[in-house]
Amino acid sequence: MTTVIECHPLVAAKPEVPKSTTVNGVDTGKLSATIEAIKADTSLANFQFRLSNQWVGGGENRSRIDDFYGVGQEMRHKQPFFLVSDEPEVLLSEDRGPNAGEYVLHALASCLTGALVYHAAARGIAVKGIATRLEGDIDLQGFLGLSKDVRRGFKNIRVMFDIDADCDDSGKQELIEMAQAYSPVFDMLSNGLPVSCRLDDDVKKAETT
Amino acid sequence: MTTVIECHPLVAAKPEVPKSTTVNGVDTGKLSATIEAIKADTSLANFQFRLSNQWVGGGENRSRIDDFYGVGQEMRHKQPFFLVSDEPEVLLSEDRGPNAGEYVLHALASCLTGALVYHAAARGIAVKGIATRLEGDIDLQGFLGLSKDVRRGFKNIRVMFDIDADCDDSGKQELIEMAQAYSPVFDMLSNGLPVSCRLDDDVKKAETT
């Protein structure tokens, strides 16, 4: 967590970088510089994340994650990431990866944890450990189209946090509330968002293995 | 896709299994048996998916996916799955995995693709290939708490489908509409759902590596 990023664009945008202190593995100097740079030019906060997916067969499909847009420029991950989805045998496939619902739970766990850690760091609150357990309930009559009264997705998701930090339960509860207040995925799942789908024969078929 | 699952509980629940034909890698005989079994006992359609996550440091955290509940019993994947999330350097971490937003895109791509494939199989429509490209736009002023007017999550998600099947664009458009109509993750992201978070010191810390 102490790697110096020579060309960090947000830090570069602000000549005077505050003295760095690492809290929760987050460089709070760079975090402050990021916030100041965005306050000075809000367009730097516009990011676009992207993904290419290919169907393999049955319930299996694979994604490649590589480039994204942020801080006013095209960017790229250190290396491409590959993700495999599948369904278990009871749902008629080969069980070669987690299913889409389990990926939703992972996205939510990651995002709540990240939001908690970053916002605690910004406030100088040291967190020693976070473990979460998530459960999502779904009635597959919805997916199968057997009932119009049953929704397709999870009916609800429960997140249980075990937090190791030098504060009492009331303080830990505040950390959880902070995570909920700032987590992008918590917002998306709680409030929904516009999702548009269209046919486009020009989709570039990316290598997904 | 031709593995015979000796103890498939949904098939076992129906003595007369229709003759199997594989369409799109989905055994349509087992799919019909599944649907009939659920019609006879709707409680079989209740599934619960689960996940344990642990914070590693900075933006990095890891999940373990192993057991789930379905068809009236506790079940387990063939093997546990592990997922790593992180943030890229520009977002102040080490870029050891996709971030939570990218996992949301993967969950959506997987789910739309799976819904299209299974529902096409149920209708006897052979699909030869599906490639999707997804984009999600986010203004990080929301996550950083710099503006109350900016939402935390993606403002919108666009999904572009390239479908290889023996039908014209109008038929492919119908396949996309079918995917949207039945995809659990499309439903969750479009409409939102109740997500509850609470402190629970009894969260079992699972091995996540």
Q: What is the ipTM of this complex?
A: 0.91
Q: Which pLDDT belongs to residue A2?
A: 35
Residue A20 contacts B where some CB pair is shorter than 8 Å: no
Specify the pTM: 0.91
φ/ψ bin of B195: left (φ > 0), alpha (ψ from -120 to 50), beta (otherwise)? beta
Task: Quickly state the pLDDT bin for B171 (edges 50, 70, 90).
Answer: very high
As given in the structure block, the two tokens for residue A139 are: 């009635």
Closest residue, chain B, to A24 (C-alpha): B58
- pLDDT for B19 equals 66
Count of Cβ atoms closer than 10 Å to residue A149 Cβ: 7
Kindly report the nearest CA distance between residue B15 and chain A, in angstroms: 17
Q: Does B94 touch chain A (CB under 8 A)?
A: yes
Distance between B14 CA and the closest CA of chain A, angstroms:
14
Quote the pLDDT of residue B201.
Answer: 81
CA nearest to B47, candidates A19, A28, A150: A150
Residue B30: which of A17, A79, A88 has the closest Cα? Answer: A88
In A45-84, the residues whose Cβ lies within 8 Å of chain B are 45-55, 57-61, 63, 65, 68, 70-71, 75, 77-78, 81, 83
User: Can you point out the beta strands (E) in A24-72?
Assistant: 26-27, 46-57, 60-70
Per-residue pLDDT tens, chain A, 209 aa: give them.
333 333 344 433 444 445 679 999 999 999 999 999 999 999 999 999 999 999 999 999 999 999 999 999 999 999 999 999 999 999 999 999 999 999 999 999 999 999 999 999 999 999 999 999 999 999 999 999 999 999 999 999 999 999 999 999 999 999 999 999 999 999 999 999 999 999 998 787 777 77
Edge-first strand listing for the sheet containing B127-139: A73-85, A60-70, A46-57, B127-139, B156-165, A195-199
Q: Provide the pLDDT for residue B13.
A: 43
Q: Is B37 on the interface with A (CB under 8 A)?
A: no
Comparing CA positions, the residue from B71, B4, B13, B15 lying closest to residue B37 is B13
Distance from CA of A90 to the nearest CA of B (A): 6
Question: Count of A–B CB contacts within 8 Å?
Answer: 506
